[in-house]
Structure formats: C-alpha cells, structure tokens
Structure 1
Amino acid sequence: MSASGDFGPAPPGVDLSENQNGSMLGAVITLIILGTLSVVLRIYARTEFKKFRFSIDDYLSFAALLFAYSLGICVIISVKYKNGHHVQALTKQEFTVIWKLLYAHVMLYAFCVTCTKTSIILFYKRIFNLRYSLYFAMFFILGYFIVIIVTVNVACDPIPYFWEQYTDPNTAVGSCIDIPKFFFGNGIAAVLIDIMILIIPIPITWKLQMPKTQRLAVIGILLLGSL
C-alpha cells in the first residue's frame, strides 16, 4: 500500500497503488485513432467525386476532431496528476489540477459533440430533401450546447469553489448545484438527441425505390456513420 495523500488514509483493504491509468489511456487512444480514421476516410470518399469541394459539414467534422484531440490531451494530462487513482492517494494540488481539467473537459466536450452532431445534420441536409425535421434536430442540438455552456459557468459561485469545496472545505466560501445530477441529466439528453439523429434518415431511406435488402443496408450504413 502506497502512502496516503491529503485526503486521509485509505479505507481498510484498499491499495492506494491501484489505478485505472491503463484503461483510461487505452480508451482515449483507441477513440482518437477511430475518430481520425473516420475523418480521413470521409475525406478520401469525398475526393473521389470529380466536382468535389469541402462543405460546411466537412469543416465541422474537422473541428470536432480537433476538439476530440483536446479532450484526449486533458485526459492524458490528468493521468499525470493521478487521475484514476483512489482519492486518498492524491495531494490537494493534484486534485485541484484534475478538477480544473474536468471543468475544461466539459467545455471542450460541449463544442466537440455540437460540431459532430451538427455535421451529421448538415450531411443529411445535403443528401436528403428534409427541412423541418432537421431544423427540429438543430434546435435541440444548439439548445443542448447552450445549456451545457451556461450551466457549467454558473454551476458554482465562484467557479473555483468547484474544486475548493473539496480541497479547502473549512475555508472555501461558495455554492454549487448538484454536479452529479447535472452530469446524469446531461448524459440522458445526449443519448436522446443521438437517438433522434439516428432516426431522422430512416423514413425517407425506407421509401427509396430499391430492394428491401439494399434499403436495410443503406440504413445500416447511415446508422453506423452517425455513431
């Protein structure tokens, strides 16, 4: 068992040397590679057309990838400061850095998912004769973005209380909303919007004049691309 940090000794039976570094880094690196490959393949497929030119949805996919890189960097830096370890193994300085990175991570995440979802919606607009359903989806996507950005910036008053309530509980002054409930609600909203985006192209694709197996294949490709 390693030495304790600034948050007290470890509970009985807990080894403070245990960590999730491998799992965290493995997940981040895998997703970054998959994201990069998907954008590269997208560019390759688009350049096969003779009259090719980049569209807004392409630029948004590039922006989303850059934000994804930034998210990955946040996680990698946080691992250096013992993110993935038991809290009892952390110093107050390490905990503060991790929570500052978490704050930045949520902001970057909002930009990343908004660029990604908007890129998909504009892609649908390019290939399908859809208007109102796409406007409806964009309303929720932009609303989701605004809610995250505003909530994160007003969740704690003052903002440093986000981490100071844990590092200096006896001297820190401020207030926060219920952060776990916010993240839980954020996750539910994200899933519902994803489902809505997945459903949008299905009705019009199903009406295409082609064999049923081909329609199912096209729907499958669109669903895979949306994921």
Structure 2
Amino acid sequence: MAVDYFADPPPGLDLNESRTASNNAVGILLLALSAIFVGLRLLTRLRLKRERLGLDDYLMFLGLALNAGNLACCIAGGFFGLGKHIWSLDAYQMRQITIITFAYVFIYAWSVCIIKFSILALYHRIFGLSWMGWFCVALTTGYLITNHAVLPLYTKPLNYYWNQWYGAEGVVQVDEAKFYLGIGIINLFGDICILTVPITNVLQLRLVRTQKIAISLIFMLGSFVCLASMYRIITIARLVKTTDVSWAKSDVFIWSSVEPSIGIISGCLPTLRPLMLQIMQSWFNFIPSGRSSSGKGSRSISLKPIETIGQKRMRKISEQDTLGGSQFTELNNDGDADEERRGHHSRTWRPDEDEMCRTTTTVHARNDSRTGTERSTPDARDGGINVTKMFEWDEAMRK
C-alpha cells in the first residue's frame, strides 16, 4: 500500500532537508540559456540571413514552450514537497505530486520528441535524410505513441494512481519506475542514432581531414544530450530501488527538464554559423578567408566552407577562391572538358556565408576569345554575379 511509505523513517535522517530550491535554480538557468539560443537563432535567420523561418525553426520554438511546461511542473511539484523526504509529507501532498507527475510525463514526452523532430528537420533541410534519418523519425514517433498508450494503463481505475495515497482500492497494472527506466533507455538510443545522422554525411564531403573534424565537432555537441539522457536513466534507476519517492523523483523531474534544455541549445548551434562569423569579423577583426589581410593589425583565420549540400544530392567542391572580397567555392561542372575544347569555359561558384552553406548562389565565368583583355561585369540577375573573361587565341603562339 502507498500509505505504508510514510511509516518508519530511517534513523538519523534530517526530515527538514530539501533540494527543491537548488533543483529549481538549475532548471530556470538552463531554460533561460535555451531561450537565449532560440532568440539568437531567430536573429540569425531573420536579420542576418533575411530568410523565412522553416519547419525546424517553428518546431524548436514549440519545443522551448513545452520545456517551459516541464519547468512549471518541477516548480509546482516543489511547492507540494517534491525534493523533500517522503516522511516529512502527508497524503495530500503526495497526491498532488502524483497528479503533477502524470501530467509531467506527457509534457516531457512531447517536448523531447518535438525537439528531436526539429533537429531532424534541420538535417533534412541541409543534407536530406538517409534511411538512418527516417529511422530516427519512426523511432521518435514510436516513443511518443508508446507513452500515450501506456500512461492511461498505469492503474485500474486510473484515478487510483493518485488516490492510492488516501488508501483507495485499485490495481497497479504498470510499474511506474520500471516503465520510466525502459522508455528512458529507448530515448537514449534515439539520441545516439540522431547524433550519427549528420556525421555520415560529413564524412562523404571532399574536404581535408581537419575540416571534417571541425564540422563533425559542431554536430557532436549534441552528445551532451546523450549524457543528460544517460544521467536521467541513473536517477530513474535510483527511483526504482527507493521508498523515499518524493526525494528520488525530484532528480527525475529536474533532469527531465535539463535534457530538453540541452537539446534545444545543441539543436540551435549549427544554425548560428553566420552570427559567429559576423561576431569574429566585427569584434575580433577576423577575416573569414584563407588569405591574410593587408590592413594593419588585422588578423586572418581560415574558415573553410562546408561543402554545399542539396536536399536531394551533394555537389562536390573542386576549388576555392576569393572574388570581390567574399569567399566563393567553385563547383564541378560535368561539361567543363567539352566546353574547354570549344574555347568556351563556364564555371559555377557560390558564396560561403550561409548556415552550413546550404543555399547555393552562383557566379558564372566565361572564357571567350579576345587576346590580352579581361573584364568583369557584375550582374544581379537570379541573385548571382556574372564575371566574364575575354580571350583571343594567337594562332602563332598556338603553333
């Protein structure tokens, strides 16, 4: 019986001990940080890139709102004694904590799944999704459905789940703590799978090893979510073994709020590259180019571009150069060899400025036939710049 939990506290236990305040402080701090990163994401998309928001952005905003609901449940639970030893509480307080727990599991499930969907939508926009990406979508959906199918089956009747603290009659059909443990392991497995989705794409890029490592590290920051999920499983394992439910469950609550917050931060980091470049240029006088600046006191770092990747295919980088003060990357053109034989050569370039270099803007160069002359004509058609080089072959030199 649940009422037996209140009997015989362990000798020497401080019944006035509480960790409610510290848990709430951690939850509030991380929620604030995640809100800041979402704000920076919004700033980057609308002000710096001047692009319309995508599905991944809207899902991340929704994930932030749901995580605020997680924190609200933590604070509400603490108001009724969550974070204190059960022997210092009464039946009414435990009943309220149990009702909050029931609602909290639904909110937590939606928050982590929406954040995962947002990250997967971002990968889909940058790389396109492989079979592993779609597997992650299916696994996340299955996780969400499982929670909604099992939670109403906790007890029979359902209200026995929270009225058991008053000695009501009913049947426990699902061991709550063990269910949390099993579903937490599935959640961790899903996090690991999502972490591998962009890495497989990065390894296929035609970049030097150091560039691949740097890009991979950006995406590997999502491993912090896996660590948070892992520690949450540890807190659930402690809950399984203890009768001090209100004390152990407070750790589960707070880590169920910390994990989505870290997920939001990790999911926003890959979108902040344009903001990072602007800060490095304006604050630290860094120039995002492989060439050194001639200006006095200026510094230069090589911020090599990430290969342009379409949603359905990958284009291979063949050469890098700097045109008009901006860094561009030449893309392979299958017809180059034929056109060179005809004295006509066309090259396609794109600037390396956008988030993960997804959007492709082209610059065309044509080699015609006039000796010793070269001219560049800017043209804003289709958002690109046409640079025309004119050459004339000297037949005597040819011979």
TM-score with structure 1 length normalisation? 0.90
**2-structure distance, mates of 1:30, 1:157:** 39
Q: Which has the higher helix share?
A: 1
Runs of 4+ in 1 over 3 A off after TM superposition: none
Match of 1:168 among 166, 169, 175: 166
What RMSD, in angstroms, separates the aligned Cα atoms of the two structures?
A: 1.6
Aligned position for 2:217: 220
SS of match in other structure, 2:10: coil
Q: Does 1:179 align with 2:169?
A: no
SS of match in other structure, 2:128: coil
Aligned position for 1:81: 80
Aligned position for 2:382: none
Q: Which one-letter code corresponds to 1:29 in the other structure?
A: I
Tell which has more relative contact order, 1 or 2 (C-alpha 8 A, sep 6+): 1
In 1, are the aligned partners of 2:154 and 2:174 still within 8 Å (CA)? yes
Equivalent residue pairs, number:
219
SS of match in other structure, 2:221: helix
Q: Deviations over 1:122-143 (max 9, x none)?
A: 1000000334322211110100
Aligned position for 2:112: 113
**1-structure distance, mates of 2:145, 2:62:** 18
Q: Does 1:189 align with 2:186?
A: yes
The 5 A counterparts of 1:1-227 are 7-8=6-7, 10-47=9-46, 48-50=48-50, 52-165=51-164, 167-169=165-167, 171-224=168-221, 227=266
**2-structure distance, mates of 1:72, 1:189:** 23
Q: Which has the higher strand share?
A: 2
**1-structure distance, mates of 2:27, 2:156:** 31
Q: Deviations over 1:1-21 (max 9, x none)?
A: xxxxx9245321011100111
Q: Which structure has the greater CA radius of gyration?
A: 2
**1-structure distance, mates of 2:173, 2:23:** 27
In 1, are the aligned partners of 2:155 and 2:170 still within 8 Å (CA)? no
Q: Deviations over 1:16-66 (max 9, x none)?
A: 10011133112211221122122112212222213x011111111011000
**2-structure distance, mates of 1:96, 1:67:** 24
Most deviating of 36-45 and 111-120: 36-45
Most deviating of 26-35 and 72-81: 26-35
**2-structure distance, mates of 1:142, 1:130:** 16
**2-structure distance, mates of 1:129, 1:94:** 49
**2-structure distance, mates of 1:34, 1:68:** 12
Most deviating of 30-39 and 182-191: 30-39
Q: CA deviation at 1:154?
A: 1.6
**1-structure distance, mates of 2:142, 2:99:** 25
**2-structure distance, mates of 1:197, 1:67:** 20
Identity, % of aligned pairs?
Answer: 31
**2-structure distance, mates of 1:189, 1:74:** 23
**2-structure distance, mates of 1:148, 1:30:** 28
Gap runs ≥5 in structure 1:
1-5
SS of match in other structure, 1:199: helix
Gap runs ≥5 in structure 2:
223-262, 267-399
In 2, are the aligned partners of 1:16 and 1:86 still within 8 Å (CA)? yes
TM-score with structure 2 length normalisation? 0.53
Q: Deviations over 1:88-135 (max 9, x none)?
A: 111111111111111111000011011000000110000003343222
**1-structure distance, mates of 2:219, 2:23:** 29
**2-structure distance, mates of 1:214, 1:142:** 34
Most deviating of 90-99 and 26-35: 26-35
**1-structure distance, mates of 2:128, 2:9:** 60
Most deviating of 32-41 and 179-188: 32-41
In 1, are the aligned partners of 2:132 and 2:193 still within 8 Å (CA)? no
